[in-house]
Amino acid sequence: MSIFGVKFLLLLVFASTVLNFTASAQPVVKIGMSTALSGPAKEIGQQLKAGAELHFNFYNQHKADDAATIELQVLDDSYEPHKTVTNARKLVYENKVDALFGVMGTPTSYAIKPILEHSKVPFLMPYTGAEFLQEPHTFNVFNLRTSYNKEAQDIVRYFVDEQKLKRVALLIQADEFGLTVEKSLTNALAERGFKPVVITRFRRNTDDIERALEQAQRYKIEGLAMVGTYTPLSKFINRAMEVGLETQYATVSFASSNELFARLKGKPKVLVTEVVPDPVICKGKLCDTFREAVRNSTLSHNEQVFEGYLNAYLLTTAIQQCELPIDSDCLLNALQQELEHNTVIREVFMLQPAQKKLPVYRSFFQ
């Protein structure tokens, strides 16, 4: 080989090394997400993931050259707690993510509490309003949805104060999710001098509701507050319509009004409390940006896609306030500051200047 050839080869090797070093030197913030991508509640998890990716992809394409790339690592847990534990261990201890994000569900979140306490990794925007996540003292959490307690209060307010119902029953998913909301519903009824006329239960990830339907018929209920996912709840309502049970229904946001309503037959009266405004009609810059992004995709304008999108938006704004590598305390403080002072996100939730608590919204099928 000639001297020129050797020099040229060395130049190529040097250039390749520089390019590889530059590529590897690009800052990356790793975000881990465990959610239901399969199983009977998969539409919720798929939509939360899609909404988050919608914004993260936009952010990565338009960020400054020296800004960190967001790497979202998503694992499927089928809404089963033991799978969430396996996923969380992999994400936290093997993949070394900077935060866990958008984990779906109360029993799944509760199952990884020891991992959160041990690792101190930030637990951001879980898809649950469980009370144990509202003000924890042993691990780090940030919520961008109101509590199930507030949703339960609104359901009972609707049934008792507005509709004047007296015979209210509960249909409860038999796990931590069901117990959490059951407690809030029972307390809200007790504040008004009532108690549930009957409490019926079914197992998570099943649609075994026949026994609950028999009990509801026997007790001649006027209102049924339901806690579960869209599959068993829609089956209960449709079967109740078939057997002539005339009652009003309500459930919290986790059920997904979009998926629940799509499965209903006839004209039952159903209320679903929501933790984000209707993305089709909400006002503000971010609402407009979301609708435009959805128009250029295959996604739909529903609350779960919107919630995932809002979660990702707020996270990227907070990350930009912190030096790299990301410090957990900085990230958590930045998220709280953005929620309290970012006019773009506050405009979406229609928050007043001094308002810190996120509101509850309503969707109706009737």
Q: What's the CA gap between 158 and 155, in Å, rounded?
A: 5
Token pair for 168: 């209210």
pLDDT in tens, 77-93: 999 999 999 999 999 99
**Average pLDDT of the residues of the chain:** 93
Q: Which residue ranges make up each domain of the chain?
A: 27-146+283-357, 148-274
- Does the pLDDT at position 235 exceed 80? yes
Which amino acid makes up residue 262?
A
Phi and psi, residue 352, nearest 5°: -75, 160
Please report the pLDDT score of residue 354 as a whole number: 85
Cα–Cα distance between 70 and 89 in angstroms, integer?
A: 20
Strands 361-365 and 269-274, bridge-based pairing: antiparallel
Note the CATH number of domain 148-274: 3.40.50.2300
pLDDT at 15 over 50: no
Calculate mean pLDDT across residues 174-180.
Answer: 95
Same fold yes or no, 27-146+283-357 and 148-274: yes
Task: Tell me the average pLDDT across 153-177.
Answer: 97
Considering the segment(s) 27-146+283-357 as one domain, its CATH architecture is 3-Layer(aba) Sandwich (3.40)
Spatial CA neighbour of 251 closest among 269, 227, 268, 267: 227
pLDDT of 2: 54
Query: What DSSP assignment string belongs to 138-202?
Result: SS-EE-SS--HHHHHHHHHIIIIIIS----EEEEEESSHHHHHHHHHHHHHHHTTT---S-EEEE
pLDDT digits (tens, 9 = 90+) for 42-71: 999 999 999 999 999 999 999 998 899 999
pLDDT band at 25 (very low <50, low <70, confident <90, very high): low
Instruction: Kindly state the percentage of the chain with pLDDT values over 70.
Output: 93
pLDDT exceeds 60 at position 122? yes
Region 161-176: mean pLDDT is: 96
When pLDDT is averaged across residues 338-345 and rounded to a whole number, the result is: 95
Q: Predicted confidence band at 6 (pLDDT cuts at 50, 70, 90)?
A: very low
**pLDDT number for residue 353:** 87
Does residue 20 carry a pLDDT above 90? no
* Residue 182 near residue 175 (C-beta atoms within 8 A): no
Question: Cα separation of 354 and 222, whole Å?
Answer: 39
Mean pLDDT of 329-348: 96
Mean pLDDT for 19-27 is 57
